[in-house]
Structure 1
Amino acid sequence: MKKRNVMEKKIGTEMEQRKGRRLVLFPLPLQGHINPMLQLADILHSKGFSITIIHTNFNSPNPSHYPNFTFHSIPDGLSESEASASDPVLLLKLLNAKCLEPFRDCLVKLLSDVSEEPISCLISDAIFYFTRAVADSLKLPRIVLRTGGVSSFVIFAAFPLLRERGYLPIQDSQLEKPVEELPPLKVKDLPVVNADDPEAFYEVVAGLVNETKASSGVIWNSYEDLEQSALVTLGKEFPIPIFPVGPFHKHCSASSSSSFLTQDQNSISWLDKQAPKSVIYASFGSIAALNEAEFLEIAWGLANSKQPFLWVVRPGLVRGSEWLEPLPSGFLETLNGRGHIIKWAPQQDVLAHPAVGAFWTHNGWNSTLESICEGVPMICMPCFGDQKVNSKYVSHVWKVGLQLESGLKREEIEGTIRRLMVEKEGEDIRDRISELKEKANLCLQQGGTSRQSLDSLVSHISKLELFTFKSQ
């Protein structure tokens, strides 16, 4: 009892020391970015910080889901056509240009409000690289959150070298060429995005990398045992504090989710009726799009595998279709209940379900990390950007999944599912991902690497000079 009282007194003293420590967080308004930022907000709030979220009108979170945070909305200036543009690079450039003044105005207002607690620092999504100039002009410390993996960021940082040595821009004739400086990558694995203006993509990457390097620190939703070599490389090249405190969603018992689509909870009751580790869960994220031929190859590959499957078909996933129109007449009936198709899933709950035996994924970083944390092997189908690097690491470095190599052909899909679910190769993969899952659990326990990193982050923020507003 005495030990407990001492501990409670220590916690109370630490909370008192941080009283008046307010953090302003600014998430990028895309599904794969806003969730990690809000999860980080939960983690820091649990450490005694007050949380203020500045967010755009575009893809804004629902404040009612986060009663402990204060929310401030800013206009983003996006027209309807710009907000729905299919070119993600254009969207990122527009957000960095159009949010600058509204963001600065909002931040100045927050900083000048003497009735509120002082602000310790700004934590911005690293892709909002314009925030460096704003924070510097206001003498406000700026820490960035990079929501992707460390391994892919190291490759983004190498883009000037890759361009100099002729790997970029990518030429079709060089797709299978090894990138000797970055094994085991081939040219086709480099994290590029097809953009209407390729130079604009390099500009966004340069902004991401250079303004991260100029920050007061960078936070990662990753953990040391998963990306140790990339963290070592990053530490040599980036002379700033580095905080791998992930996996974020495992820090809190009830993790945040700001889903832009309604999650179908009926998928859980369907999973309840399936045998352990028998179900293929297929979901390709919130942005990826397929043509009708690719969609049909996936449908028949799943059906022909004879395994039960839970398939997320997001409205708009198939170009030119609303939802399931391209499926042949009677397709669902032929499955005899073996397939369940929904519009969006409560993914963390699905991956944690004992019936799920594999995850067919686009390898966005959040999905990849969630799959590792639940010990679910992956079938990798990356679409663009860092997904390609994540996929390569899953299949060739960590060896906890299989990559679809030759495009979307139903025969290869069926064969890959069998390799993972039925054959000896799948058993070995399950053993390896179980080890990574265990390491993810250990890193969050007392004395674990992510727990230590989080303590270092809290200490780092607490030592930053409190902002005192002076009229500009």
Structure 2
Amino acid sequence: METHGRDTILISTQSTATRRRIILFPLPFQGHINPMLQLANILHNQGFDITIIHTEYNSPIHSNHPHFTFKSISDRFFELETKADAGVILQYLNRSCEDPFRDCLTGLLVEYGEGSVSCLITDAGFHFTQAVADSVKLPRMVLRTSSLGCVLAYVALPFSSESGYFNLTKEDSNYETSVPEFPLMKVKDIVKMTNNPESMGEFVSDMLHQMKASSGIIWNTFQELEEPALETISHDFSIPSFTLGPFHKYFPASSSSLIEQDRSVLSWLDNQAPKSVIYISFGSVALITESEFQEVAHGLANIGLPFLWVVRPGIVPGSQWLEALPEKFLESVGDGGRIVKWAPQQDVLAHPATGCFWTHCGWNSTLESICEGVPMVCSPCFVDQPVNARYVSDVWKIGVLLEDGFDRVGIERAIKRVMVEKEGEEIRERITSLKEKVNLSLEEGGSSHQSLKGLVDYILSF
């Protein structure tokens, strides 16, 4: 057994002579690549050889993973309209990657020899791969990089213009009401999920159908966080499910970030008081308007608490970096505010100075915040993020949701609820309890530890 601090990594009993290979295929977006590479590392430490097939777009950095074999395929992503909706992009990739992926996989199976590859693990979003795997008689498991709750929402929600939800605006009387098909969500939440419900609906339907046709589902979550959802999933999806997350906790803080991190922020955090800093990051994909960006800046200035704000170049369409900031903003906040292009998020969240995380509620960010016991302020943008935000605020009660977008008054109010008021103390207690449950789940005999053992045995049975 190999240990890194408090995080334990199991080493497999597979002998070198009988090592089996797993081929993995991630969707080419940072929130999907990261957990797939983390899973690959976990399985490599269990004794499996690893091959990663990946698209040319957002190619992982091979030199960061010298123990893996990488194979690149054409994706024609450059032909896609850059402002396309998520459903359109995902369905496009499922078409454009099919032939190159089939050719690559077939060639690898010949190269490695009969019986040497245990299985294929693809992102659940690459639903076309089930038919390819079936054609070469290779078991396909899927990695679903969202929460279990998100999949329940996808099963229940009607993604179509005919539902009447997606055309509603703030002026409509139903905008604030719950959605009968999934009452946790309000109409205004699902309006955010997609601008193209038909395309999104087609993608979700294809993905869910091929998940059920797969040999099993791997989840980057842990049982204690989503037990009711896991029971429902196990009933609705009659294939094995493995909840062995959070994946990143199997290793010391590490990154497969496609964007260069500014690690100087850690020494800045060293000079701040415990739990005093607001950390703001809206992820690697989301865009916000210039007026929303300025409301964020005004909100932060008005609160007067120290902040670390990740402003990804291009997050405001048409701007290079900080041109849209209010006049003299940087001078007015002085050393009390730090703005960077990208930050080492796991290290920032683990830092004693970090008091809350204002996040887009991508699933990786949500899990990382839970793992470090950092309360959240939620500003979800699209796809699964509004679902995650509702679970954070209304089910687990470990954060607050900015219900009505980016408004400086609402921003100030939400952050004060978490950072200053008694409600924030109660939120911190709940998320600290979840942090402890994460650590227990990863210890020997814990739920994630047991799920990993079950997954390894299952793969070896193919």
Q: TM-score range by the shorter chain?
A: over 0.9
- Other structure's SS at 2:121 match: strand
Whether the 8 Å contact between 1:192 and 1:386 is mirrored in structure 2 is no
Whether the 8 Å contact between 1:58 and 1:83 is mirrored in structure 2 is no
Number of the residue aligned with 1:435: 433
Shift in alpha-carbon separation, 1:324–1:163, aligned structure 2, 3 A? closer
Number of the residue aligned with 2:194: 194
Number of the residue aligned with 1:171: 168
What per-residue deviation string (whole Å, max 9, x for no partner) do you get for residues 389-419 of structure 1?
1000100100000111222111111121111
Task: Supply the distance in 2 between the matched residues of 1:120 and 1:184 (Cα, whole angstroms).
Answer: 40
What per-residue deviation string (whole Å, max 9, x for no partner) do you get for residues 169-214 of structure 1?
463433222234433322223386334x431111111111111011
- One-letter code aligned to 1:182: F
Number of the residue aligned with 2:14: 15
What per-residue deviation string (whole Å, max 9, x for no partner) do you get for residues 22-50 of structure 1?
00000100010000000000000010100
- Other structure's SS at 1:318 match: coil
Number of the residue aligned with 1:253: 252
Which structure 1 residue ranges, 5 or more long, are not aligned?
Answer: 1-10, 465-472
**Correspondences of 1:118-129 after superposition (within 5 Å):** 118-129=116-127
Number of the residue aligned with 1:209: 208
Tell whether 2:310 aligns with 1:312: yes
Task: Supply the distance in 1 between the matched residues of 2:243 and 2:81 (Cα, whole angstroms).
Answer: 32
What per-residue deviation string (whole Å, max 9, x for no partner) do you get for residues 287-330 of structure 1?
11111111111001011101000000000111221111011332
- Other structure's SS at 1:200 match: helix
Task: Supply the distance in 2 between the matched residues of 1:405 and 1:159 (Cα, whole angstroms).
Answer: 20
Which structure 2 residue ranges, 5 or more long, are not aligned?
Answer: 1-9
Q: Give the C-alpha shift of residue 18 in structure 1.
A: 8.2
Shift in alpha-carbon separation, 1:211–1:12, aligned structure 2, 3 A? closer
Whether the 8 Å contact between 2:12 and 2:45 is mirrored in structure 1 is no
Whether the 8 Å contact between 1:85 and 1:91 is mirrored in structure 2 is no
- Other structure's SS at 1:285 match: coil
- Other structure's SS at 2:59 match: coil
Whether the 8 Å contact between 1:218 and 1:243 is mirrored in structure 2 is yes
Task: Supply the distance in 2 between the matched residues of 1:146 and 1:348 (Cα, whole angstroms).
Answer: 21
Number of the residue aligned with 2:3: none
Task: Supply the distance in 1 between the matched residues of 2:297 and 2:424 (Cα, whole angstroms).
Answer: 22
What per-residue deviation string (whole Å, max 9, x for no partner) do you get for residues 440-465 of structure 1?
1110001100111111100110001x
Number of the residue aligned with 2:4: none
- Other structure's SS at 1:113 match: helix
Number of the residue aligned with 2:373: 375
Task: Supply the distance in 2 between the matched residues of 1:202 and 1:299 (Cα, whole angstroms).
Answer: 36
**Correspondences of 1:208-227 after superposition (within 5 Å):** 208-227=207-226
- One-letter code aligned to 2:413: G
Shift in alpha-carbon separation, 1:14–1:308, aligned structure 2, 3 A? same
Task: Supply the distance in 1 between the matched residues of 2:421 and 2:185 (Cα, whole angstroms).
Answer: 27
Tell whether 2:420 aligns with 1:422: yes
- One-letter code aligned to 2:27: L
Whether the 8 Å contact between 1:191 and 1:388 is mirrored in structure 2 is no
Number of the residue aligned with 2:354: 356
Q: Which deviates more, 421-430 or 404-413? A: 404-413
Task: Supply the distance in 1 between the matched residues of 2:156 and 2:11 (Cα, whole angstroms).
Answer: 45
**Correspondences of 1:50-199 after superposition (within 5 Å):** 50-79=49-78, 81-82=79-80, 84-114=82-112, 118-159=116-157, 166=163, 168-169=165-166, 171-172=168-169, 173=172, 174-190=174-190, 193-195=193-195, 197-199=196-198
Q: Give the C-alpha shift of residue 116 in structure 1.
A: 9.0
What per-residue deviation string (whole Å, max 9, x for no partner) do you get for residues 238-273 of structure 1?
000000110000012354x22121101111111111
Shift in alpha-carbon separation, 1:420–1:347, aligned structure 2, 3 A? same
Q: Which deviates more, 405-414 or 441-450? A: 405-414
Q: Give the C-alpha shift of residue 15 in structure 1.
A: 1.5
Tell whether 2:445 aligns with 1:457: no
Whether the 8 Å contact between 2:120 and 2:133 is mirrored in structure 1 is yes
Number of aligned residues: 450
TM-score by length of 2: 0.93
Whether the 8 Å contact between 2:219 and 2:243 is mirrored in structure 1 is yes
Whether the 8 Å contact between 1:282 and 1:312 is mirrored in structure 2 is yes
Whether the 8 Å contact between 1:191 and 1:386 is mirrored in structure 2 is no
Q: Give the C-alpha shift of residue 168 in structure 1.
A: 4.9
Number of the residue aligned with 1:239: 238
- One-letter code aligned to 2:417: R
Whether the 8 Å contact between 1:22 and 1:117 is mirrored in structure 2 is no
Q: Give the C-alpha shift of residue 78 in structure 1.
A: 2.5
Number of the residue aligned with 2:339: 341
Q: Give the C-alpha shift of residue 12 in structure 1.
A: 8.8
Shift in alpha-carbon separation, 1:211–1:386, aligned structure 2, 3 A? same
Q: Give the C-alpha shift of residue 136 in structure 1.
A: 0.5
- One-letter code aligned to 2:133: A
- One-letter code aligned to 2:386: K
Whether the 8 Å contact between 2:161 and 2:167 is mirrored in structure 1 is no
Task: Supply the distance in 2 between the matched residues of 1:251 and 1:323 (Cα, whole angstroms).
Answer: 35
TM-score by length of 1: 0.91
What is the percentage of aligned positions where both structures have the same residue?
A: 56
Q: Give the C-alpha shift of residue 374 in structure 1.
A: 0.2
